[in-house]
Every structure is written in C-alpha cells, then in structure tokens.
Amino acid sequence: MDVILVGDSLGMVMHGLETTVPVTVEMMIVHGRAVVRGTKRALIVVDLPFGSYEASPVEAFHTAARVLKETGAGAVKLEGGVRMAETVRFLVDRGIPVMGHVGLTPQAINTLGSFKARGRDETEAGQIFEDAVAISHAGAFSIVLEAIAEPLARRITQEVAPPTIGIGGSAACDGQILVLEDMLGLAPRVPKFVKKYAELGPAIEAAVSSYAEEVRARTFPGPEHVYAPKAPKAG
C-alpha cells in the first residue's frame, strides 16, 4: 500500500518555521484537504500538530475527528510512545486509525534540545523499544521510526507487530518515508538520512533568474507568446 503523510514538517519546508511546534490544526487541515483532492489511490495520513492532542484522550479524539472530517483523510499520526498509548487506544476504539511515531519526535524539540539521532545507547534504545511495544499493543496500525540507531530499528521491525516506516531508521524497516522537499533537493540543508533524488532547488533558481533577465531585457514575452488580432471578415 502506498501512503502519503501530510506531515507537520510542512510548517518548516513550506511556511519557513524553525520547528514544527507552531503548526496549527487549521494549517494541517488546509494542506490535508488539498492532498486528498489530488490523490486517487494512496492512503492519506495527517499529522496531529503539537498542542492539539496531548492534554487528554478526549482532546485527541475531538482533534482527530475534526481532521478526518474536514480533510477526507483516512488516518492520523501522533508522536509519543508509552505516554500516548492510552490516547492511541482511545482513538482506535472509537474508529480512528492511528499511525504512531517514536524515536526522534520533533514536536518535543524544546525538551529534547536537538534533532540528533536517538537510541544510540542501551538505556535510550530500551525506552524507545518500550514506546514501540506500547503503541503497538494500543492498536497503532503502523509506526514511524525516526532517526534511531539501525540495530534498534531492526529489532523493533522484527519484534513488534505493526509495519514500521523508517525515516533515518533502517533498510530493515517495512517501509520508508522522506520529506518530499528534502528528497527533491528543494531544501538547502537536509538530515544525514536524506538521499536527494533530484536537485530541483538550483534548477528553479536558474529558471527564475532567466525569466527575470528576459523580462528586464524585454525579450519575454516573444512573438510566439502573444496574441495577434483577428483578421477582418470579408464583405
């Protein structure tokens, strides 16, 4: 199955924010609705942004239900492991499919302090494994593993039931995901785990520069880009 995640990283790559923390539910709905309109067969999953679901399972339900109703998406994603297991179960029991997310959780940047990889020591790896197990038992249908040590990603994939989706995890994960702007070369700086499949950023800059130069030189629009008057009718 192909999955498109409308991630709260859109705040950084499309709105120029420094982190995902300021992203709002309204922003996610606008982008989620647009993606759903343009998609024919993939499952669309929409992130629940920071501050919209953590306070209680009931708050999470109201946010998730609104997101699904107003976007037409098929599932939501939320960050957190053991501490969010009750919320995951609450949503799943009420008909809302949930994708989990453990390891590096960008919404917690203000407590984590950096976007560095996680699970590289035994203690933290054990905590992340427990997180994955907890949300698996709570009913998450898949789990994103972000920026964690390769052996840990492999272990979670082998020992936890839901499919794993790696983003800086391991080729052993059941699936992979990347931020589109990163993989297309639109972002000036990207994490270590990103492979650029194109360099569209420089190509776009060159195209816009050429356009501006031709406008200033009055060589655009040329004769082939303008409309001639209609020929007069005979008689």
79 is in an annotated binding site: yes
Cis before residue 221, ω within 30 degrees of 0?
yes
131 is in an annotated binding site: no
Identify the active-site residue in 26, 54, 70, 146.
146
**Nearest-10 crossing angle of helices 57-71, 85-93:** 50
182 is in an annotated binding site: no
**Nearest-10 crossing angle of helices 122-138, 85-93:** 20
9 is in an annotated binding site: yes
Distance CA 94, CA 87 (A): 11
- Which strands make up the sheet holding 3-6, listed edge to edge? 3-6, 43-47, 75-77, 98-103, 142-146, 164-167, 175-176
Question: Known catalytic residue: 213?
Answer: no
- Which residues are tagged catalytic? 146
Q: Which residues are annotated as a binding site for 3-methyl-2-oxobutanoate?
A: 8-9, 47, 77
Q: Which residues are annotated as a binding site for Mg(2+)?
A: 8, 47, 79
Q: Which residues are annotated as a binding site?
A: 8-9, 47, 77, 79
